Structure 1
Amino acid sequence: MSQNLATLPSPKANQALTEYNRDPLGFMTRCVREFGEIVPLRFEGELFCLLTNPDHITEVLKDRSLFIKAKDLRILRGLLGNGLLTSEGDFWQRQRRLTQPIFHQQRINSYGAVMVDYTQQMLQTWYEGKVVDVHDEMMRLTLNIVMKTIFDQDVTDREASHVSHALDEAMHWYTSREIYEDSEASTNSNNIQAWINCGMKAVARSLQVLGLGDVSNGDDNRRYREAIALLDETVYAMIAHRRVSGSEGDDLLGMLMQVQDTDDGSRMSDQQLRDEVATLMLAGHETTANTLSWVWMLLANHPQVGEKLTEELKTVLNGRTPTIADLPQLSYTHRVVKEAMRLYPPVTDISREATQDCEIGGYSIPKSTTLIASQWVMHRNPRYFTEPEAFNPERWTDDLEKRLPRGVYFPFGDGPRICIGKSFAQMEAVLILATIAQTFELVLIPDQTIELQPSITLRPKHGIQVVLKKT
């Protein structure tokens, strides 16, 4: 017989929300340390469960019918529409089937030269002693790359600014609705009703942006809507131009336009194309840029790792630019990226909502419960990683990833909804790292505070300031 979640130990309800909003990553880490494999949490009357057993995590991520994307991600439909990241059910399955061929490994490999070429163009603007925000640099670089692979053209500054502005506003809006920056609650963190009021306001803001409620207190909502309008203007113009030209092309947009449903012969509408393109731009640009930003920070703090990386690059490349043919030989470079994604996963947690009453680990899970699988928590779990806080790329020697239980290391998610662009992102990160590290060492500006900003992705809140040093 299933047991009731109420029998499990959990944080005190009147402290959990306050602590979570102050430091979500620290809060979840404490929950794992002090409670069990299933940690029930009640926020604003809603039930959440943090899962720390890899078998439970795998069970939830593999069953896309019983466990669907939770509310926190569904509210992004204003930005991403009904793309692969947010859609569900038969529609998601159809879109995944139509989209899968464009991410065949041979297709992905053809973009390797684009990634290296754009990185070299960026390096032409770098010089000894220049101070840069490496997060800004990586964001700009990966945006240029993903726009080139989608549209097969060098985007204008105006087009690039529209896309980056929309993504920035989405991150800002998403973060602000989670922080609950309400003066009443800020002055009295023990006032439970105040926190509930804040939560209600946050839900209201979410509904407003989705067009499901009246817009009030709307500065964030207005900026978000305006940013999405600019994004739509840019993407729809490119789709229309392709339709009028009659040439679909071999880029990602062209391939999306050409795929046909084998059941009825239909192709994607302009709306579907727009939604998938917006999803590709977010997933294909934001996550890789953040991963590389954390890589540079970690390398700057661990010069011995940087020396081993430089040694491999000299041995394999000997000063020439990398190609996809070099990837199998760049084993240590791969491990550096893999270890950075362990410590600073591009996405810190995955949430799913139970569509009906069910059972996990012998406990009854009511319908509508939100289940949380945290990469941040699992990737730093001492049960599976020796010295889990240490940056140690060598730990990935001898196929550690294959030896770990499934549900322990999952930077790209898992199950049928694992990130479709996983191979693209992995190749991009390694090629960019290899291209830059041959020429420059990035030295951290001293005494700066590098603050984590867990939102849709894990960003450095105020960037990462570095001085460029020729190698």
Structure 2
Amino acid sequence: MPSLRGAPLVGAALDLRRDYLGTLLRAARDVGDVARIYAGPPGWRVAFYSISAPELVLEILGQPDRYTKGNQFYAEVRKALGNGMLTSEGDDWHRQRRFLAPVFTHKRISTTYAAIMVDEAQQLVRRWSRVAATGGAVDVHGEMIDLTSRIIGRVLFGADMSAAVPEIVKFRFVSDLILQRGFSPRPTPMCVPTRANRRLSSGLAGLRAVVDGIIADRRRKTDTVPTQDLLGLLLTSRDVDNGRDRLSDTEIADQVLIFLLAGHDTTASTLACLLVELARAPEWQQTLRDELDHVLAGRVVTAGDLAALPWTGRAVREAMRLYPAAHSIGRSNTHEETLNGYRIPAGSAIVVSPWTIHRSPKIWVDPQTFDPQRFDLPGGQVPGGHKYAWFPFGAGPHACIGMQLAMLETPIVLATILQTYRLSTSLTSIPLQPAISLHPADPLPVQIQLS
């Protein structure tokens, strides 16, 4: 089958390290929808298959028994963060899903969690007032990390998490290091005390210490009324299929770690990139502001308003198209498979790529351009002409369990900001870092003025 051209000795290893996302786009353009990519020197060389066809998304992600998480990337995440929803599969995944289902009901998300989002977004708007008074700039990525950390902290742990937020945020480098190990042809064993290994071990220990301390403190408060935050629900939950089964503190910590990292970093990145795109496109910014003025007339947004804010929703979806947090979804085939006529040997590393599908010129007109109008379609039509031309939360039974949270939090925060502030920026592009999730590589300065 066709392969991506690389250097004679190391294949695409250096290209992947220097520009992982660009290399995937080059493979889709130069090789095709199923592209074999070699990395590493002879004897240490590994191959993976990059999938850029919407038609193959559900075939791979919709069959977890045939295409599993048994690859190096998930092995590294599992070693680092434990066997939570992101990494588990089979009976373990089904059991965890039963425990977590009551936590993510539509009613709980649209009431309890939405109220937290609105409150924290309002506090952000008030904190920005001094900067706005002088027409100053804020780093929207740093600000969104702080905001979404506060929101996920309250969703997870209930009470004000101001003290824990700096501890959580300072360990963001952990996901970068895990990704490097996950895509390295031969990662150095963690027992070898390299600088990167020592930094990763220290960061993971710090993160787990924060979580373990919160869980232990909650366990000590046995005389209090059970709380309705995620931690309180997990501590008291029982398996609906086995009332005697409960999650251990270690299992709870594994879930919380995943939600801490994924629950704030992904939404923060989407919001930051969306705010920059709107700052670069004043006409779209005005379209959204007009819609907010018409529907809300100055009052605070609620979850119930979002259905009446279609352009706000389209802008959110367009940002998720351009900047999918889950830029790559890895799987391994248990048996030999045939994809688009090509033989894929059993046990191969397969990467389903929202990044390349979302930016494919075969699917989207002018795909690099921010254009929410792509999502303004007549009934029955789907963006990109295929159900899986847009799939920022994955697909199949293992699609992201936090999708409803993200699709509520992002427009609530966006609406709250645009009701008060007008945005502008000198940025012409957004530098990106593809860690476990996609995020901006540098600060993103945006000028804010009272509207």
The alignment's TM-score, normalised by the length of structure 2, stands at 0.91
Counterpart of 1:419, as a letter, is C
The residue type paired with residue 162 of structure 1 is: E
Aligned residue number for residue 215 of structure 1: 192
Query: Which segments of structure 1 move beyond 4 Å, counting only runs of 4 or more?
Result: 175-180
2:257 alignment counterpart: 278
Distance in 2, Cα, partners of 1:86 & 1:61? 14
- SS of structure 2 residue aligned to 1:124: helix
Q: Which amino acid aligns with 1:216?
A: P
User: Structure 1 pair 34/172, CA: closer, same or farther in 2 (3 Å)?
Assistant: closer
Query: Structure 1 residues 434, 260: CA separation in 2 closer, same or farther (over 3 Å shift)?
Result: same
1:351 aligned to 2:330?
yes
Deviates more, 1:355-364 or 1:433-442: 355-364
Match of 2:432 among 448, 452, 456: 452
Corresponding residue of 1:22: 18
In the alignment, which residue of structure 2 is the partner of 1:11?
5
Partner of 1:196: none
Give, in whole Å, the separation in 2 of the partners of 1:248 and 1:366: 51
The one-letter code sitting in structure 1 at the alignment partner of 2:205 is A
Q: 2:430 and 2:373 mapped to 1: Cα distance?
A: 25
1:57 equivalent in structure 2: 57
Report the Cα offset of residue 138 of structure 1. 0.2
Distance, in Å, in 1 between the alignment partners of 2:168 and 2:37 is: 36
Q: Which residue of 1 aligns with 2:107?
A: 106
Q: Give me the identity figure in percent.
A: 35
TM-superposition CA deviations, 1:32-86 (whole Å, max 9, x none)? 2222321112223222111122222221101112212231233122442111001
Counterpart in 1 of 2:287?
A: 308
The residue correspondences of 1:26-425 to structure 2 (distance < 5 A) are 26-44=22-40, 45-69=45-69, 70-110=71-111, 111-127=113-129, 128=132, 129-157=135-163, 159-166=164-171, 168-174=172-178, 177=181, 199-200=185-186, 203-204=187-188, 207-208=189-190, 214-217=191-194, 219-246=195-222, 247-265=225-243, 266-398=245-377, 400-401=381-382, 404-425=385-406
Kindly state the Cα deviation for residue 139 of structure 1 after the two structures are TM-superposed. 0.3
Question: CA distance change for structure 1 residues 289 and 381 in 2, over 3 Å: closer, same or farther?
Answer: same
Partner AA of 2:120 in structure 1: Y
SS at match of 1:297: helix
Distance 1:427 1:240 in 2: 31
After TM superposition, give the deviation of residue 449 of structure 1 in Å. Answer: 6.8
Letter in 1 for 2:66: L
CA contact (8 A) 1:58 1:414 kept: yes
Counting only pairs closer than 5 Å after superposition, residues 430-445 of structure 1 correspond to structure 2 as 430-444=411-425
Q: Indicate whether 1:426 and 2:407 are aligned.
A: yes
CA shift at 1:178, angstroms?
Answer: 7.4
Shift of 1:149: 0.9
Aligned-partner residue type, residue 231 of structure 1: L
- CA spacing shift, 1:381–1:120, aligned 2, 3 Å: same
Which whole-Å CA distance do the structure 2 matches of 1:353 and 1:382 have between them?
27
User: Which runs of 5 or more structure 2 residues have no equivalent in the other structure?
Assistant: none
**Quick one: distance in 2 between partners of 1:248 and 1:232?**
23
Q: 1:130 to 1:175 in 2, by over 3 A?
A: farther
What is the SS of the residue equivalent to 2:127? coil
2:337 and 2:344 in contact (8 A); partners too: yes
Tell me the amino acid that sits aligned with residue 63 of structure 2.
D
Q: In the TM superposition, what is the alpha-carbon distance from 1:226 to its structure 2 partner?
A: 2.0
Query: What's the CA shift for 1:220?
Result: 2.4
CA contact (8 A) 2:150 2:162 kept: no
- The equivalent of 2:448 in structure 1 is 468
Q: Aligned AA for 1:259?
A: S
Alpha-carbon distance in 2 for matches of 1:178, 1:464: 27
Structure 1: how far apart are the matches of 2:73 and 2:173? 16
Cα shift at 1:367? 1.9
* Structure 1 gaps, min length 5: 181-198, 209-213
- Is the partner of 1:319 in helix, strand or coil? coil
Q: Which residue of 2 aligns with 1:189?
A: none
Q: State the shift of 1:148 in Å.
A: 0.4
| Partner residue, 1:191 | none
- CA distance in structure 1 between the partners assigned to 2:165 and 2:7 by the alignment: 44
Under a length normalisation based on structure 1, what TM-score does the superposition of the two structures give? 0.87
SS in structure 2 opposite 1:407?
A: coil
Kindly tell me the number of residue pairs found equivalent between the two proteins: 434
Letter in 1 for 2:382: E
Distance 1:20 1:224, change over 3 A: closer
Amino acid in structure 2 at the alignment position of 1:160? V
| 1:89-114 deviations in Å (ceiling 9; x for gaps) | 21111101221221111111121111
Q: Secondary structure at the match of 2:12?
A: helix
- Tell me if structure 2 keeps the 8 A contact 1:232–1:274: yes
**What is the distance in 2 between the residues matched to 1:178 and 1:256?**
29
